[in-house]
Amino acid sequence: MAIWFRKSINVSANYLKAKTGLRGLLNQRHPSPCFHSKFSSPTSLNGKNYRNPPSFLGNSTTLFGSPRFESVKAGSQEELLYDNGGHQDQALDFPGGTVPFTPEMRFISENSKERIPCYRVLDDNGNLIMHSSFVQVNKEDALKMYGTMVTLQTMDTIFYEAQRQGRISFYVTSIGEEAINISSAAALTPEDVILAQETQYREPGVLLWRGFTLQEFSNQCLGNKSDYGKGRQMPIHYGSNKHNYFTVSSPIATQLPQAVGAAYSLKMDGKDACVVTYFGDGGSSEGDFHAALNFAAVMEAPVIFICRNNGWAISTPVSEQFRSDGIVVKGQAYGIRSIRVDGNDALAVYSATRAAREMAITEQRPVLIEALTYRVGHHSTSDDSTKYRPVDEIEHWKMSRNPIARFRRWVDGNGWWNDKDESELRGNLRKQLLHAIQVAEKVEKPPLSDLFTDVYENTPSNLIQQEELLRQTIERHPQDYPSDVPL
């Protein structure tokens, strides 16, 4: 006798509540974006089951899909939910809810018949899709969003060039993913706490939106005395107490369970805020990802997980990482309301994040957002992505699915922007960034003693000994150490 699982009535009720409870937040003329709390159903191509991406995301199965074979012994979840062989009155009173019995032995299918759809508002030409549901954005906010996206793009270009010139040691761009950065940040409040990680050091746009200045970015990348991390972090590992932005940490996915803990503390304190944590598709392969989702669901923590699924974990495509329908279904598996959005559609990301924040705070629950996008740039300045992915694929996403170009068309269509505004913005940004870098280069480096501070209230003897040994070594070999670091 096999025991089959079905959705509880409570989950279905909560799903309906979620769809109706956001009507004050979303555009009243259209249905709201769908946060999935039930499985979709499988698509066969030539006898095989392929998880094909939505048409606007391209046809590359390397990025968002891989072949599957249907199991003749497996039944769809819908069949299992409603077909219990006429044994409606026979059920197992089990912790977590009543489980119905069935006399038929059928395994739950390893996949569904159709992929979870991807929520979008703007088409590739920046036109509103008919009957789309979204949060209205006024002129002021729209121009700030667009201007910040352009600022991030310009910052990436200039800092990347600075690294190639040897002026900074390392850099990572967010090219092609600006909409996720800026639109999600615009949907939050300054009280919401941000946690990022190494594979998500593509979120400087969140800090940019919150007021982190170009000079502060430059100070961090050059590791000078004005850097809040005192030069002890790699470039682009930003952090700011003022802006509720935890310092970026290099280990992959470690920030996810930390974010749940921080969110639970907000819940205990009764704060009207949530925690937002960003991670990549590669981060979902870490154990911390699974621990965090289960932790969040069980503790009902007000945390938003935003997965930037760009199809590549450095050089590993998603087809070699997992066999599920992306990340969105993993949220459902842990009992977390989830949605898949077009990560290159600024309005879709903004609307989904606003809705997710409302749910997280008012209902005290975690929410997962999977944003489908593409990393147009190399993983970092240490990478050459043309070694593992085709150039024409990169160019296609760069030219045809550029999130900044798409959003600008929408802004232009509203009569809020023109070519003159564009030229002035980009010209001024370049001057400001070059000046900020020049200023940062002239600022003194942090003293050597800062290497051993800010961890212990009273410095332990082993660190005191290490500092003494380091100073002795520098005295013996001064030519091997930077001369601009004060001793």
The catalytic residues are 161, 250, 379-380
Q: What angle do CA 356, 259, 296 make, to 5 degrees?
A: 65
- CB 128: neighbour CB atoms within 10 A? 13
Q: Take residue 448 and report the two structure tokens written for it.
A: 């050597």
Q: What is the C-alpha separation between 147 and 89, in angstroms, rounded?
A: 61
Q: Characterize 447-475 residue by residue with b for buried, 16 or more Cβ atoms within 10 angstroms of its Cβ, and e for exposed.
A: eeebbeeeeeeeeeeeeeeebeeeeeeee
Inter-axis angle of helices 346-362 and 178-186, to 10 degrees?
40
Phi-psi region of 366 (alpha: psi -120 to 50; beta: other; left: phi over 0): beta
Phi-psi region of 280 (alpha: psi -120 to 50; beta: other; left: phi over 0): beta
Q: Take residue 182 and report the two structure tokens written for it.
A: 């800026």
